[in-house]
Amino acid sequence: MKILIASDLHYPTINGVATFSRNLARGLADLGHEVVVIAPSQTGKKCKEVDGNHVIVRTNSVPFPFYQNFRISPNPAREVRKIIEDFDPDVIHIQMVLWLGSAALKYGNKFGIPIVSTNHAMPENLMDNLKLLAPVSRSINYILKAYGARFHSKADYVTLPTQAAIDMFNAGDKIKIPMAPVSNGIDLARFTPQEAPKSVYEKFHLPNDAPIVTYIGRLDAEKHISVLVRAFVRVNAQHPEAHLLIVGDGTDAPRLKALVKEFGLQQHVTFTGKVSDEDLVLLHRVGTVYCMPSPAELQSIATLEAMASGQPIVAVDAGALRELCQHERNGYLCEQDNDEEIAAGIISIIEDASLRESMSKESLAIAKTHDLQTTLKQFEKIYQDLIKA
């Protein structure tokens, strides 16, 4: 099959959509399909590049100030039309409802090309970063959700990463086309519960004889990482040897570093900034427990990666996280923004080796049900069925 993937967020931008769209493109190309990705240019000027086994066509772009390393293509219609005409895809898979996604939807419909649309977004992901709009956030959230429903209704098939995401979207009452939960998936060949080499501890100046609480992902306001920092203050009070590892970058990074300094935790917290793909895998292995404080997750690839690396999970009982963090099975679910509950969950796992081992095994068992190869096969079938229809 010739598969066109349109994604307003794509590598090297770091977030769940970008990670999924790249994994999807690489995986489908590995299976023998011809794959082209449309994504915003990282330099501003349109270009073509090869990412291993597939082509990325980059469109003209401008910076978007509210997300780290995020550029947008505000008027891509002509470029997208030409890409579609030149490539002549059998199917188009849209990852976002923004500029490139809208153009791909428009011309896919015009040329009669089957369209799969995946919803990765919650309006809260945007609104938490636009604090000036907080007084009208409820109204804007409603408008964005209504726009999303209209957008997806013009596709031929809609997927979301979890059933909980479908339920939250309430799409069954709004969209009358086929819809299904399809996990974002995880490459279980990469993320494994191996012991991290000594070199990774040395490179990032981490203690190798102390419990390490990890967060890996974007450092943006909607992730509520400040709640984790406050929880770690409580953890540190009982376990001064414990260390907090925060991997990633984002618009909230300066505020988080200031908060750590305010609490006098500089010697107990490591900010790595953006890391390489290789270091990301290794840093998932150093953790004793992984914490996801974000209430706006439709799945959370980073949490899946931590689980596949053998970590117990402490997460908030919001979004779709309860499908990954199953309370008292592989971790603890806590009330949103309740740093006391989050700290208690972390401390319980740190203090009980047998509990930690049991939860680690359960994290691995759950992660195995989200193998990327299964995700790829599900999308292959969806594409084939649409092409035959």
Buried b (16+ CB within 10 A) or exposed e, 301-310: bbbbbbbbbb
Same domain, 348 and 376: no
Same domain, 306 and 245: yes
Q: What are 152's two structure tokens? A: 């997806």
Same domain, 67 and 173: yes
Per-residue pLDDT band at 173 (split at 50, 70, 90): low
Residues found in the chain: 389
Same domain, 12 and 84: yes
- Give the pLDDT confidence of 311-321 residue by residue, as tens digits: 999 999 998 99
Instruction: Kindly state whether residue 193 falls inside one of the protein's structural domains.
Output: no
Least confident of 119-123, 247-251, 362-366, 380-384: 119-123
Instruction: Tell me the C-alpha to C-alpha distance, in Å, between residue 154 and each of 104, 113, 147.
Output: 11, 12, 11
Same domain, 34 and 173: yes
Q: What are phi and psi of 384, to 5 degrees?
A: -60, -40
Same domain, 167 and 206: no
User: C-alpha dihedral over 16, 22, 28, 30, to 10 degrees?
Assistant: -130
Is the pLDDT confidence value at 238 over 90?
yes
Same domain, 170 and 286: no
Number of domains in the chain: 2
Per-residue pLDDT band at 67 (split at 50, 70, 90): low
Same domain, 138 and 232: no
Per-residue pLDDT band at 167 (split at 50, 70, 90): confident
- Which residues form the domain of 254? 198-370
Same domain, 234 and 136: no
Same domain, 218 and 113: no
Q: Cα–Cα distance between 288 and 202 in angstroms, integer?
A: 17
Predicted model pTM = 0.88
Q: Cα–Cα distance between 329 and 310 in angstroms, integer?
A: 13
Is the pLDDT confidence value at 65 over 80?
no
Instruction: Tell me the C-alpha to C-alpha distance, in Å, between residue 298 and each of 17, 125, 302, 344.
Output: 11, 10, 12, 25
Instruction: Kindly state whether residue 118 falls inside one of the protein's structural domains.
Output: yes
Instruction: Kindly state whether residue 192 falls inside one of the protein's structural domains.
Output: no
Same domain, 360 and 382: no
Percent of the chain with pLDDT over 70: 92
Same domain, 203 and 336: yes
Instruction: Kindly state whether residue 382 falls inside one of the protein's structural domains.
Output: yes
Q: What are 146's two structure tokens? A: 């209504």
- Give the pLDDT confidence of 88-137 residue by residue, as tens digits: 999 999 999 989 999 999 999 999 999 999 998 765 555 444 444 444 34
Q: What is the CATH number of the domain that holds 261?
A: 3.40.50.2000
Instruction: Kindly state whether residue 191 falls inside one of the protein's structural domains.
Output: no
Q: Cα–Cα distance between 50 and 195 in angstroms, integer?
A: 33
Instruction: Kindly state whether residue 218 falls inside one of the protein's structural domains.
Output: yes
The closest alpha carbon to 27, from 379, 384, 359, belongs to 379
The closest alpha carbon to 360, from 286, 284, 288, belongs to 288
